[in-house]
Chains A and B, each alone.
Chain A
Amino acid sequence: MISGSVVIGTSIAYVILLFIVAYISDLRARQGRWKLLRSPLIYTLAISVYATSWTFYGAVGSAARNGLEFLAIYMGPTLVFVGWWFGLRKLVRIGHNQRITSIADFVSSRFGKSERLAILITIIAVIGITPYIALQLKAITTSLRVILATNPNVSIAQTGDDLGLAFAIAAAMALFSVLFGTRNINANEQHHGVVAAIAFEAVVKFVALVAVGLFVVFGIGGGFEATFARAQDVGISLNTPDSFGPRWLTITILSAAAIICLPRQFQTTVVENADENHLKTASWAFPLYLLGMSIFTLPIAIIGLSVLPAGSDPDMFVLALPLANDQNALALFAFIGGFSSATSMIIIASIALSIMISNHIVVPIALRSPNLFGLKEGQGMTRLLLTSRRASIAATLFLGFVYFWLTSGSGALAPIGLISFAGVAQFMPAILAALYWRDATANGALAGLLTGSAIWAYSSFLPSFATSNEQIAQLLLTGPWGIEFLRPQALLGLDSFDPLVQSVFWSLLANTIALVVVSIMGENNAIGRLQATLFVDVFKQNQNGQRGFARSSAPLNDLFAMTRRVLGTERAESLFDSFAPSGQSRLNIEPTPEFITRLEKELAGSIGAASAHVLLGQVVSGDTVTMEEVMQMADETQQILEYSQMLEETTTELRSTTDQLQQANVQLRQLDQQKDEFLSQVSHEVRTPMTAIRSFAEILLTNKDLKPTQRQQFVRTIHDESMRLTGLLEEILDLNALERGEKLWANEPVDPNRALNRAIEVCTPVTDQHQVSVQLGNLAKDVRVIANFDRICQVFINLISNAAKYNDAKNPSVTISSKVDGQHLLVDFIDNGPGISAADTQTIFDKFWRGTRNPDTSQSGSGLGLAISREILGKMDGSLNLITKKNPAGKNEKTGPNKSGACFRVTLPLHTK
């Protein structure tokens, strides 16, 4: 038995010790001796505020009742710290960049600095955390009862005395937290003293629990093995797979969410973080701490169940076991350990909540109606903030007490904690969306939070009052208006699951769906888009990514007055001094947009992003840039970027166009040259008959005494040469038309043999004149080619007359044969003339090329025949080629090395029926 004065005295001494720790830490911080304060160790221990009296006492109770279920509470945080380390780093990075003060600030800041969101989250957090604070009050009250009781084996019933005790404890805690957390108002400045004290408490509770555990296992149980051997006897099953069902999974998920969403966890992990790299240590050290805290949970539960009399409160085994074995000092240490875990939670949670309440509820109201809070012009807001924070802490603890009061007698510690977990888990969808989903909107987050927390309040929070309220108990049984479908713990008839599981399932599902659907339907406003980028792409930006009053300016005096209002004269002066150019007074600060943006960030660190934005907007008025304008500027910038990109593209296009033009120019020059050559050749071709005509005309004019036969011959020559000129002109025009690509005729099925006969017939005068025999070889029968009859005749005539005109063989002949080759008809014209010399095979199709003329004849072509024929065949998808043959088929006669004859092959597409 321990006397009350010893317990109270120890507790007070412990609290004084905490104050000393905090004081020394603050002192060191002011002196700039950061080494220990900003160490990863302190950071990790501060995060260990997660282990509250629920862990200290309640986990044993949970293990005694539900076996291994308690492990899930440690599973979630471990998974997050080990497996989602990069996610935490993103949170911390954003926290630093945006000067985030709380989880409400974080979410509202991400979603366009929405005040409504900040308020909603603050309210949800307050309601959600209330059971948790009540849990601490209950733990301290009960533990105090146990340690003071004359007979520790008697279960403590809730009595009126307990309420008084709880109220006294709540009041003491409020005082304690106020003294700790609001000695100054620098919410944004990390609470070095508090954090150091919390870290100290983390060590105390750890050592206390391990001490009790060691005593229980080795002092009573006779070692781990012997201890676990008793498990079966006391009804704790270690091997049943039932432990790891939906409830286990749900609790794991809840605790994983809680390690981020609980305001106090957000405070220690994100807000109080001094260095991103500390997370690296915390990612293994924190899970290790939890492991240490949980290692004795099961042994204590087993020994407690087997040693202590039936009916003992398992939540108090940690305390009862040393007491039952007359280990009063150990019991007192264990009490202090439990006290530590409860106080650290209450302090940090109430500070975190008070920051949220004052920044997101009190300050916005004060900014809108200064008279309400007696704010006078020029008066600092410091006092208001300080007062509101203190009041918030008191209110938070009072709410916790009220919850404790209303739910009095509602059994164990753990379920109360889980209600809080489920409540704050509603922040999770919004936080994940904030980090990873650019298109998530403020309205989406608002809808999700409202829906999820409403379902949580109905299905989790409300039922916790059932023990003290008859109507609520009735509601749980029959549902509202007797609609069983809507029973809080079996929504939509989902009663096969644990009430916690179904509540979490429905609330998070509805939360997520509302968030996604509303986000998709709506669109982010300007500032929302800006913030979304700053959050989602935080690792892609430099530190000064934030843009606010981009074009603004304001009188320095006004800015200073406003800052003094918020921070107080002393801090405002030192802040402005730090902004001033080195070696100059703060009066020389240029109120540039960059400065105003920095100032906004600093103020956001004190009163939250949304309030700071509104406040600065008032001062910078007159030249304030609305977010729409900022966005417009951003759009303009974007447009300029696009424009320059376009210019670049245009330049590239121009370059390629230039290249194309140069190519075209080269081609044109070649064409021009070809045209010159063509003209020159045409002129030559024209001059030749013209020369003859002129010459003979002159002869006829000047020689009157010509013989009639001579005169006749000369006149005939003039006539022939005139005809030649005409023919030449026609062929030039014909070739020109063909080359221009004009569609001069329609292709149709043509009988090639009929065209051939026609050509031979037309050529008869020429072939007769040259005494060339035209022989028909094998001809393909019954075929049709796609061609034009007149034009194909023209080609054939040209080839036959060429073969006749330039054939100097003794017995000149031309042999024509045709055969089908695939989809084409091949028509060969083989003569026994001089053939084409190798040098000429490339040029015979050129314009004005002419073979050696038979000197006996006055017949001569224009030199365009083959060029025209080739063009014609090209228009029929056919071709004209010179087939190189040393010795023409069927001809043995060889009149010389060059007298191997020529073979022209016409290829025409077959008409397939």
Chain B
Amino acid sequence: MKPDVLIVEDEPAILTSLEFILHHAGWATACVTDGEAAMQYIQLTRPRAVVLDLMLPKKNGFEVLKALRADPRTHDLPILILTAKGQQQDKLTAMELGASGFITKPYANSDVVDAVNELIGTPPLSKKTNIELS
């Protein structure tokens, strides 16, 4: 099944939590832990959106973002940047490079889900609603 959201994160604990909340929100997710793997995965499977950490081994988030924006095939791919640095300069750089959204760690889970929803619409099966309703 083609994933809706690719999560690129090298911290295992954070990766697990992101995977959980996005999955729980109704999206199909895939996970990679470094920049190169992210590039390869995106070329192969074309997810609908990418949640991209900046501090990554092998190829950092900025490089991935830049490469994706330079490629016409991924030019419009929604990319949500996650960073633990939280510096204004990083946010500006990310926006200049064409990031679709920017979220600072530590974040509220709902912020991530809302941001992803905003980028690619409401998921076909909103578990989130279900959960909240239940």
Mark contacts of A883-900 with chain B using CB atoms, 8 A cut-off: 1 yes-contact digit, 0 otherwise.
000000000000000000
Mark contacts of B1-40 with chain A using CB atoms, 8 A cut-off: 1 yes-contact digit, 0 otherwise.
0000000001111101110110010000000011000000
Most buried by B among A688, A695, A699, A857: A695
Task: Tell me the chain A residues, 649-697 only, with Cβ under 8 Å from chain B.
Answer: 680, 683-684, 687-696
In the complex the two chains form, is A692's CB within 8 Å of B14's CB?
A: yes
> Assuming the A-B contacts A696-B17, A852-B58, A853-B57, are A688 and B134 also in contact, with contact meaning beta carbons closer than 8 angstroms in the complex?
no
Q: What's the Cα separation between A680 and B33 when bound, in Å?
A: 23
Which residue of chain B is the closest to A717 with respect to CB atoms? B13
Q: What's the Cα separation between A852 and B34 when bound, in Å?
A: 10
In the complex the two chains form, is A688's CB within 8 Å of B105's CB?
A: yes
Flag whether A313 is at the interface (Cβ < 8 A): no
Q: What's the Cα separation between A721 and B57 when bound, in Å?
A: 20
List A contacts of B84 (CB < 8 A). Answer: 683-684, 687-688, 691
How many residues of chain A are within 8 Å of chain B by beta carbon?
28
List A contacts of B93 (CB < 8 A). Answer: none
List B contacts of A705 (CB < 8 A). Answer: 131, 134
Which residue of chain B is the closest to A685 with respect to CB atoms? B84
Which residue of chain B is the closest to A721 with respect to CB atoms? B13
Q: How far is the CB of B31 from chain A (nearest CB, A)?
A: 10
Task: Tell me the chain B residues, 98-123 only, with Cβ under 8 Å from chain A.
Answer: 105-109
Q: How far is the CB of B104 from chain A (nearest CB, A)?
A: 8
> Assuming the A-B contacts A683-B85, A684-B84, are A691 and B14 also in contact, with contact meaning beta carbons closer than 8 angstroms in the complex?
yes
Looking at the complex, which one of A683, A699, A858 makes contact with B20 (CB distance below 8 Å)?
A699
Looking at the complex, which one of B16, B20, B57, B85 makes contact with A852 (CB distance below 8 Å)?
B57
Q: How far is the CB of B24 from chain A (nearest CB, A)?
A: 7
Flag whether A377 is at the interface (Cβ < 8 A): no
Q: How far is the CB of A866 from chain B (nearest CB, A)?
A: 17
Q: What's the Cα separation between A698 and B13 when bound, in Å?
A: 14
In the complex the two chains form, is A698's CB within 8 Å of B86's CB?
A: no
List A contacts of B10 (CB < 8 A). Answer: 853
List B contacts of A853 (CB < 8 A). Answer: 10, 57
In the complex the two chains form, is B106's CB within 8 Å of A694's CB?
A: yes
Most buried by A among B13, B84, B108, B109: B13
The size bracket of the interface on B is 20 to 34
Which residue of chain B is the closest to A855 with respect to CB atoms? B33
List A contacts of B108 (CB < 8 A). Answer: 694, 698
In the complex the two chains form, is B24's CB within 8 Å of A703's CB?
A: yes
List B contacts of A688 (CB < 8 A). Answer: 11, 14, 84, 105
List B contacts of A695 (CB < 8 A). Answer: 14, 17-18, 21, 106-107, 109
> Assuming the A-B contacts A691-B84, A705-B134, are A699 and B109 also in contact, with contact meaning beta carbons closer than 8 angstroms in the complex?
yes
Q: What's the Cα separation between A699 and B113 when bound, in Å?
A: 12
Q: What's the Cα separation between A911 and B116 when bound, in Å?
A: 63
Which residue of chain A is the closest to B108 with respect to CB atoms? A698
Q: What's the Cα separation between A663 and B102 when bound, in Å?
A: 41
Most buried by A among B17, B57, B85, B108: B17
Looking at the complex, which one of B55, B57, B131 makes contact with A703 (CB distance below 8 Å)?
B131
In the complex the two chains form, is B86's CB within 8 Å of A683's CB?
A: yes
List A contacts of B106 (CB < 8 A). Answer: 687, 690-691, 693-695
Looking at the complex, which one of B17, B55, B58, B85 makes contact with A692 (CB distance below 8 Å)?
B17
List B contacts of A694 (CB < 8 A). Answer: 106-108
Mark contacts of B65-83 with chain A using CB atoms, 8 A cut-off: 1 yes-contact digit, 0 otherwise.
0000000000000000000
> Assuming the A-B contacts A692-B11, A698-B109, A855-B33, are A687 and B86 also in contact, with contact meaning beta carbons closer than 8 angstroms in the complex?
yes
Flag whether A523 is at the interface (Cβ < 8 A): no
Most buried by A among B11, B107, B134: B11
Looking at the complex, which one of A683, A684, A714 makes contact with B55 (CB distance below 8 Å)?
A684
Q: What's the Cα separation between A858 and B11 when bound, in Å?
A: 8
- The 4 nearest A-B residue pairs measured at CB: A692-B13, A695-B17, A687-B84, A691-B106
A/B interface sample: 21 pairs, CB < 8 A:
A680-B87, A687-B85, A687-B86, A687-B106, A688-B84, A690-B106, A691-B14, A691-B105, A692-B11, A692-B16, A694-B107, A695-B18, A695-B21, A695-B107, A698-B108, A699-B20, A699-B109, A717-B17, A852-B57, A853-B57, A855-B33
B residues with CB within 8 A of A: 10-14, 16-18, 20-21, 24, 33-34, 55, 57-58, 84-87, 105-109, 131, 134
Contacts A695-B21, A703-B24 known; list 15 others, CB within 8 Å. Answer: A680-B85, A684-B55, A688-B11, A688-B84, A688-B105, A689-B13, A690-B105, A691-B84, A691-B105, A694-B108, A695-B106, A702-B131, A703-B131, A705-B131, A705-B134
